[in-house]
Chains A and B, each alone.
Chain A
Amino acid sequence: MSNFPLAIIYMLAAIILPLLPRQIRSAFYLIASVAAFVFLINLEAGASLGFHFLNYELMVCRVDRLSLAFGYVFVIMGFLGGVYGYHVKDALQQVVALLYVGSSLGVVFAGDLFTLLFFWEIMAVSSLFLIWARRTQDARKAGFRYLLVHAFGGSALMAGILLHLQQTGSLLFTHFDGGVASYLILLSFALNAAVPPLNGWLPDAYPEGTVTGSVFLSAFTTKVAVYALARGFAGMELLMWAGAVMAVYGVVFAFLANDGRRLLSYHIISQVGYMVCGVGIGTAMAVNGATAHAFAHILYKGLLFMGMGTVLYATGRNKMTELGGLFKKMRLTLLFFMVGAFSISGVPLFSGFVSKSMVIYGAEMEHLGAVVLLLNLASIGTFLSIGLKLPYFTWFSKDRNLKPEPVPPGMYIGMGLTAALCIAIGVYPALLYNLLPFEVHYQPYTASHLIESMQLLIFTGLAFWLVMKKLHAEAMITLDTDWFYRRPSRLAFAVFSVSICEFFGAIERLSLRLARYLVRFGANPAGYAVEATKNARHVLLHTEKPSPEPPSFSPDRYRIPLGFMVLVVLLLLIVLLAWDFLF
Chain B
Amino acid sequence: MKRKRLIMAIATLIIFIILDVLVVSGHVHVEFPWSHIPGFFSLFGFLGCLAIIYGAKLLGHCWLQRGEDYYDKDDEHE
**A: which residues have CB within 8 A of B?**
141, 251-253, 255-256, 364-365, 367, 369, 372-373, 376-377, 380-381, 384, 446-448, 451-460, 462-467, 471, 474-480, 486-487, 489-490, 493, 498
Task: Determine how close the nearest CB of chain A comes to the CB of B42; give it in whole angstroms.
Answer: 4
Docked-complex contact A479 and B24, CB < 8 angstroms: no
CB within 8 Å of A: which B12-71 residues: 12-13, 16, 19-20, 23-24, 27-30, 32-33, 39, 41-53, 55-57, 59-60, 63-68, 70-71
Docked-complex contact B74 and A459, CB < 8 angstroms: no
Given contacts A255-B53, A364-B29, contact A451 B19 (CB under 8 A): yes
User: Quick one: closest A residue to B52, CB to CB?
Assistant: A381
Q: How far is B44's CA from A443's CA once the two chains are assembled, in angstroms?
A: 24
Given contacts A458-B45, A486-B74, contact A476 B65 (CB under 8 A): yes
Q: How far is B6's CA from A292's CA once the two chains are assembled, in angstroms?
A: 38
Task: Determine how close the nearest CB of chain B comes to the CB of A251; give it in whole angstroms.
Answer: 6
Partner of B28, one of A373, A448, A471: A448
For A369, the chain B residues whose CB sits under 8 A away are: 32-33
Partner of A477, one of B57, B68, B75: B68
Docked-complex contact A384 and B74, CB < 8 angstroms: no
Q: How far is B47's CA from A388's CA once the two chains are assembled, in angstroms?
A: 16
Q: How far is B42's CA from A463's CA once the two chains are assembled, in angstroms?
A: 11
Task: Determine how close the nearest CB of chain B comes to the CB of A371; give it in whole angstroms.
Answer: 11
Docked-complex contact A364 and B30, CB < 8 angstroms: yes
Docked-complex contact A489 and B74, CB < 8 angstroms: yes
Q: How far is B53's CA from A464's CA once the two chains are assembled, in angstroms?
A: 9
User: Quick one: closest A residue to B29, CB to CB?
Assistant: A364
Partner of A451, one of B9, B24, B65: B24
Interface centre among A372, A458, A459, A498 (most CB of B within 10 A): A459
Given contacts A466-B5, A486-B74, contact A478 B64 (CB under 8 A): yes
Docked-complex contact A479 and B66, CB < 8 angstroms: yes
* 12 sample A-B contacts, Cβ–Cβ < 8 Å, listed by A number: A255-B53, A365-B30, A448-B28, A451-B19, A455-B20, A455-B39, A455-B45, A456-B45, A458-B16, A477-B66, A477-B71, A480-B64
For B63, the chain A residues whose CB sits under 8 A away are: 479
User: Quick one: closest A residue to B19, CB to CB?
Assistant: A451
For B49, the chain A residues whose CB sits under 8 A away are: 380-381, 384, 459-460, 463-464
Given contacts A462-B9, A463-B45, contact A372 B32 (CB under 8 A): yes
Q: How far is B52's CA from A85's CA once the two chains are assembled, in angstroms?
A: 35
Docked-complex contact A448 and B30, CB < 8 angstroms: no
B77 CB–A CB distance under 8 Å: yes
For A458, the chain B residues whose CB sits under 8 A away are: 12, 16, 42, 45
For B12, the chain A residues whose CB sits under 8 A away are: 458-459, 462
For A453, the chain B residues whose CB sits under 8 A away are: 41
Task: Determine how close the nearest CB of chain B comes to the CB of A482; give it in whole angstroms.
Answer: 9
Docked-complex contact A460 and B45, CB < 8 angstroms: yes
Partner of B65, one of A365, A454, A477: A477
User: Quick one: closest A residue to B27, CB to CB?
Assistant: A448
For B19, the chain A residues whose CB sits under 8 A away are: 451
Given contacts A252-B56, A367-B30, contact A456 B9 (CB under 8 A): no
Docked-complex contact B66 and A376, CB < 8 angstroms: no
Partner of A467, one of B53, B59, B68, B71: B53
Q: How far is B66's CA from A467's CA once the two chains are assembled, in angstroms?
A: 24
Q: How far is B60's CA from A464's CA once the two chains are assembled, in angstroms?
A: 19
Partner of A490, one of B56, B57, B68, B74: B74
For A478, the chain B residues whose CB sits under 8 A away are: 60, 64-66
For B27, the chain A residues whose CB sits under 8 A away are: 446-448
Given contacts A252-B52, A452-B24, A456-B41, contact A477 B74 (CB under 8 A): no
Q: How far is B64's CA from A384's CA once the two chains are assembled, in angstroms?
A: 20
Partner of B46, one of A255, A381, A462, A489: A462
For B50, the chain A residues whose CB sits under 8 A away are: 463, 467
Partner of B55, one of A252, A457, A459, A489: A252
Given contacts A251-B52, A477-B65, contact A455 B16 (CB under 8 A): yes
Q: How far is B59's CA from A348's CA once the two chains are assembled, in angstroms?
A: 32
For B39, the chain A residues whose CB sits under 8 A away are: 455
For B55, the chain A residues whose CB sits under 8 A away are: 252
Task: Determine how close the nearest CB of chain B comes to the CB of A442; give it in whole angstroms.
Answer: 11
For the complex of A and B, the 4 pairs showing the least CB-CB separation, nearest first, are A459-B45, A463-B49, A455-B41, A255-B56
Task: Determine how close the nearest CB of chain A comes to the CB of B39; give it in whole angstroms.
Answer: 7
